[in-house]
Amino acid sequence: MTELQQLTVKQLSDALNKKELSSQEIVKSGFDYIKETEPTIDAFITLSEEKALAEAKKIDDSPRSELTPLAGIPIGIKDNIVTKDVLTTAASKMLYNFNPIYSATAVEKLESAGLVSMGKLNMDEFAMGSSTETSYFKKTKNAWDQTKVPGGSSGGSAASVAAGQVPASLGSDTGGSIRQPASFNGIVGMKPTYGRVSRYGLIAFSSSLDQIGPMTRTVEDNAMILNAISGHDAKDSTSSRRDTPDFTNLIGQDIKDMKIGVPKEFMGEGVHPDIRHAVKEAVKTFEALGATVDEVSLPNAVYGVEVYYIIASSEASSNLQRFDGIRYGYRSENISNLEDVYVNSRSEGFGSEVKRRIMLGTFSLSAGFYDAYFRKAGQVRTLIVNDFKKVFENYDLILGPVSPTVAFEFGAAQDDPITAYMRDILTIPVNLAGLPGMSVPGGFSEGLPIGIQLIGNHFDEEKMYQAAYAFEQATDFHKKQPVILGGKA
């Protein structure tokens, strides 16, 4: 990793404001490094070099006093976040040629802040997966070990940041898709409170669960990017009207007297011993920083996976009806009537995991099964929400692991989707409750990163950043850098 690629968002911002670097230097260096390392990492589906360099020149030509502190800093965008005039595929054959005529609100906010999009990042198809192996285009590799998966569905977003290709990226999180790949790649990933960031322009998977969030190498960087993308949006009916604070406000303040709960259900036998050990060490660190840490219980969290796959698949079966071979995207050439257009286009355009979830969701919503599955899942979801409410009556934050394992080998769960689904058991309850959750680097197991998960009450991101920063500064896990085989170290 070159010296320039090692700089954080904050460091780049300071250098730009002092005119020690230009945006064009940073962006050009970024593309040079991406081209060198991309054969190893495979994080990008589409690069926007010409557009990015033009934007960087425009920023350099403007008086710095008229720009935001983030102006001129590169960022990568997950390929399910719509970007005007830039190929946006959701990593699916179904959208292999889709060039949007508008941008997502989150992208517009980034552009307003002057961040420069370097391109669109690989992911699991339509965000359905936890390894980025379901992408139609390529398999992104883990930045620390290219024989291992980067996690998913925001695998490209995580690997690109960990590898130094970009200092920050946007991902989306439906059941852990920011936090799990952040954990696997040793970076910081924040899934904000549901409604904190507009979903307008996010290609929908599960509308009651999806949320866009930032992925960075440090906690402070993460808060800075969340500042840029948060806020009410009239184009998203689920967008919160709550005022958006400066998420860096509490960074650097001590966490003395903060109360943290560790759910006993998150530390069970299915969690690898090295990860349990990392969490216990994190508890000691927080206690040394002045926090009180106790064991708590989320008794209904164990049903989270079952509830999630009924609700998420049901919403997906509805959301993905729009991809029908008629208006845009892939259309089969093997047609003789209108029914063939629908059936063959969807059969050929969707991958196996997407088809599996559409069928599961359609079944759950069908007559005779709606009450037994979808309605029941909604009722258990309420129990999970109530469990969190009860804990947050007495505690500021919840602490635990992000994933039961570190990054696994490619193909490890290809023939066993149930095993793959269970890997999300520690992240899914957060989405079901609409809470903010984040992953911060917390250790290593056999050379692979371990993520520590912090969960906050609704709209408590400031407090989460405060605690995460204190932990980050008390440890050195975030300072370790992967060596990219075939690229620069």
The residues that are catalytic are: 78, 153, 177
Kind and range of the H or E element at 457? none
In the chain, how long is the greatest CA-to-CA distance? 71
The H-assigned helical ranges of 393-427 are 417-422
Phi, psi of 397 (to 5 degrees): -140, 160
Q: Are 31 and 52 in contact (CB under 8 A)?
A: yes
Beta pairing, strands 116-121 & 44-47: antiparallel
Q: How far apart are CA 268 and CA 422, in angstroms?
A: 13
- Classified as helix, coil or strand, 261 is strand
The single-letter DSSP state of residue 424 is T
Q: How far apart are CA 295 and CA 290, in angstroms?
A: 17
Q: How far apart are CA 212 and CA 193, in angstroms?
A: 10
Q: How far apart are CA 2 and CA 21, in angstroms?
A: 15
Sheet holding 437-445, edge to edge: 44-47, 116-121, 74-78, 168-172, 212-216, 188-191, 437-445, 448-456, 397-401, 259-263, 292-296
Beta strands in 285-338 (DSSP E): 292-296
